[in-house]
Structures are given as structure tokens and as C-alpha cells.
């Protein structure tokens, strides 16, 4: 089946209707894919929404919020946070809880970075890339699932969209969770992809009333490659010619987020929102990964 056109997707997004004012949180939305998706959501709701965006740059957040449609029912918030630390994730989630008046309908996770360095531990001992691309994402779910469950209980939308890459996976190395022994950029991408897939399965079991999707955005012309080393810049410049804009990607991401087919359950999606088959990792690996995740993000024990 051929994919719908961008124009058709945009029209369909703009035709979405809510009988209540939806609340959506976009984590990592001060640029790139998160920004594109938050903007598409603001347009689709015509400003009748509570939107919270998270990231470090207040300047970017202010500009993005200024571009949203304004109505008497609009409420837009920014939470400034460095999400490479789990303590900060908990603080940001707590701040969000004080701002959210009712349930939370949508949680979109796209915080991320790229660099060509090796294992780079944060002060909590987790590799910074994995902290942003894996641990912080599920930590947000841990902190906010009651508000999503509340939405589901009230018959409202209750969805999580995790923007990363469900198809890059390789078998999980259970002897090296967190890649503290053997780290490379490629291995990090593959293990991170597999970790996120397994967590979709785990959290779908725990919270069967929610929709939890892991989606690949495709190649998108964002700031993600800003730390590319000089020698690789010409290649990146060439690849950018093949990329979608963040606005275009945002429409596709929103279309996946609102798709009736994915209203409840766990899903693995490609860049235009179709479901894909993924490599399965089995019960034992799932248990071990969840145990590892719990230990790494347990703030009651020293790093
Ligand atoms: N672009 C692509 O082609 C592509 C392809 C596949 C997967 N992805 C994945 O999609 C995700 C989003 O990427 P993007 O292309 O949209 O990149 P981007 O434009 O660089 O956006 C990344 C977002 O994450 C936030 N962020 C980064 N470090 C942070 C930190 N320490 N604390 C809090 N927020 C932080 C940034 O905000 P601040 O700088 O304000 O903190 C920004 O809002 C990434 O995980 C990326 O790996 C991207």
C-alpha cells in the first residue's frame, strides 16, 4: 500500500477533534522532531490544549510557544531541565505534576544528542547518550503513568510516543547492560534500540490501558548532528539533502500519535506510521534488562 501524502496527513491531523482540552507533554521539544511534533499538535488542537515542553533552552522554548495559536483555553508551559541526570528527570516530572490540572493525554519523548565520543558517564555513572535516549525516557513514564492511567480511566486518549529507532536492534548483550565494558557508537545505537523495544513490551504488560509506541522518525534535518567531527561534516551535509524537515516529520509523528489503530497496546512503527516486525528478545532478557534499568535509575542507592 502506498503511503499517504504529507498534505493528506496534515489534513487528517487538522481534522482531529477532542471533546475535552487535551494535555500533552513533549520532552526534548526545544528543537528538532519534538519541536515539529509539538507545533503540529498545537495547530491540530487549534490552541485548545495544555502543552508542556521540556528541554534546556528557554530561548528556544519561548520562540516555539510564541508560534502556537492563542485562545482563551490555551495553556503553554516550559520546564527547563537537563535530563541527562535521573534526579533532574524526577524533579522535572514533579514540576509537570504541579502544572497538569487533570489527566495527561500524551507523553512524547524525543530528548537526545549525538557525539562521536566513547562512553561518557554522567555524575550518576550512566553514559550520557543512553541517559537521554533510554533511561530518562522510561523514568518519565515511571513518574507520570498515574496521570496517563487517569486519562484512560476517564475514556480519554492516553498515549506515549517514544521517538528513536525500533528496527536498528541487535540481540541484547546481557553481560554488558549500559555498555560500561564495551562501548562504540554503533553498539550504543543497536543496544539502545533493543532496550527501548523491550521496555515497550514490559510497560504494555504493566499498563495495558495505555498506548505505547516506539517510532522511527526517518532522517530529519535537525540539530542532532551539531557535534559531528569536522572530518564527517561533508558526509552529514550530503545526507541532509535527503532529510525531511522537522515540520514534516512532526506531522508524521502526530499522525502516528493520533492514529485510531494505535489507541491501546504496544506498537513499533516506521517513519510513516506503519507497524513493523521487530527482533524479539525473550522473557529472561526482558527481566534482566528491567532489573538493570531499575538499579540504574534507583535514586535511593548511591551511584
Ligand atoms: N534527526 C534524525 O534524523 C533522527 C533519526 C533517528 C532518530 N533520531 C532521534 O530522535 C531524537 C530527537 O532528535 P532530533 O533530531 O530532534 O534532535 P535535536 O534537534 O538535537 O533535538 C533534541 C532535543 O533534545 C533536547 N536535549 C538534548 N540534550 C538534553 C539534555 N541534556 N537535557 C534536556 N534536553 C536535552 C534538546 O533541547 P535542549 O538543547 O534545549 O536541551 C532538543 O529539544 C534523538 O533521540 C535522536 O537520536 C533522530
Distance (Å) from CA 73 to ligand 1 centroid? 29
> What are the backbone angles phi and psi of residue 237, rounded to the nearest 5°?
-60, -40
Q: Quick: pLDDT tens for 135-194.
A: 999 999 999 999 999 999 999 999 999 999 999 999 999 999 999 999 999 999 999 999
**Residue 49 CB less than 6 A away from ligand 1:** no
pLDDT digits (tens, 9 = 90+) for 17-62: 999 999 999 999 999 999 999 999 999 999 999 999 999 999 999 9
Domain carrying residue 272: 19-218+246-297
How far apart are the two ends of the chain, measured CA to CA in Å?
Answer: 50
The verdict on residue 223 lying in a domain is no
Report if residue 195 sits inside a domain. Answer: yes
Judge whether 64 lies within some domain.
yes
Residue 90: which CATH number? 3.40.50.720
* Inside any domain, residue 232: no
Q: Is residue 249 within 6 Å of ligand 1 at its C-beta?
A: no
Has residue 14 been placed in a domain? no
Task: Tell me, yes or no, whether 239 lies in a domain.
Answer: no
CB within 8 Å of 51: residues ≥ 6 apart: 23, 24, 25, 26, 38, 41, 42, 65, 68, 75, 76, 77
For residue 233, being part of any structural domain is answered with no
pLDDT tens digits, 221-271:
988 777 777 777 777 777 777 799 999 999 999 999 999 999 999 999 999
Atom of ligand 1 nearest to the CA of 226: 20
How many structural domains are present in the chain? Answer: 1
32 lines ligand 1 (CB under 6 A): yes
Q: Is the CA virtual torsion 274, 275, 278, 284 positive or negative?
A: positive
Query: Residue 208 pLDDT > 70, yes or no?
Result: yes
224 inside domain: no
Amino acid at each position: 500500500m502506498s503511503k499517504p501524502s504529507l498534505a493528506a496527513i496534515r489534513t487528517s491531523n487538522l481534522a482531529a477533534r477532542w471533546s475535552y482540552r487535551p494535555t500533552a507533554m513533549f520532552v526534548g521539544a526545544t528543537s528538532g522532531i519534538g519541536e515539529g511534533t509539538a507545533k503540529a499538535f498545537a495547530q491540530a488542537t487549534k490552541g485548545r490544549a495544555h502543552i508542556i515542553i521540556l528541554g534546556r533552552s528557554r530561548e528556544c522554548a519561548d520562540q516555539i510557544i510564541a508560534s502556537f495559536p492563542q485562545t482563551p483555553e490555551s495553556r503553554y508551559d516550559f520546564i527547563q531541565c537537563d535530563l541527562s541526570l535521573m534526579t533532574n528527570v524526577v524533579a522535572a516530572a514533579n514540576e509537570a505534576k504541579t502544572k497538569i490540572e487533570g489527566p495527561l493525554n500524551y507523553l512524547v519523548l524525543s530528548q537526545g544528542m549525538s557525539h562521536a565520543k566513547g562512553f561518557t558517564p554522567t555524575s550518576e555513572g550512566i553514559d550520557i547518550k543512553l541517559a537521554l535516549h533510554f533511561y530518562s525516557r522510561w523514568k518519565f513514564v515511571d513518574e507520570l503513568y498515574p496521570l496517563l492511567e487517569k486519562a484512560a480511566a476517564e475514556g480519554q486518549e492516553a498515549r506515549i510516543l517514544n521517538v528513536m529507532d525500533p528496527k536498528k536492534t541487535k540481540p541484547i548483550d546481557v553481560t554488558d547492560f549500559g555498555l560500561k565494558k564495551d562501548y562504540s557508537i554503533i553498539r550504543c545505537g543497536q543496544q539502545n534500540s533493543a532496550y527501548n523495544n523491550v521496555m515497550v513490551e514490559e510497560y504494555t504488560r504493566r499498563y495495558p490501558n495505555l498506548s505505547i509506541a516506539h517510532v522511527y522518525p526517518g532522517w530529519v534535518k535537525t540539530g542532532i548532528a551539531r557535534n559531528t567531527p569536522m572530518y564527517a561534516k561533508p558526509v552529514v551535509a550530503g545526507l541532509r539533502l535527503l532529510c525531511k524537515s522537522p515540520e514534516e516529520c512532526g506531522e508524521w509523528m502526530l499522525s502516528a500519535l493520533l492514529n485510531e489503530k494505535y489507541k491501546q497496546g504496544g506498537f513499533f512503527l516506521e517513519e510513516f506510521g506503519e507497524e513493523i516486525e521487530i527482533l524479539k528478545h525473550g522473557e529472561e532478557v526482558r527481566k534482566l534488562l528491567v532489573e538493570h534499568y531499575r538499579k540504574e535509575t534507583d535514586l535511593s542507592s548511591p551511584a
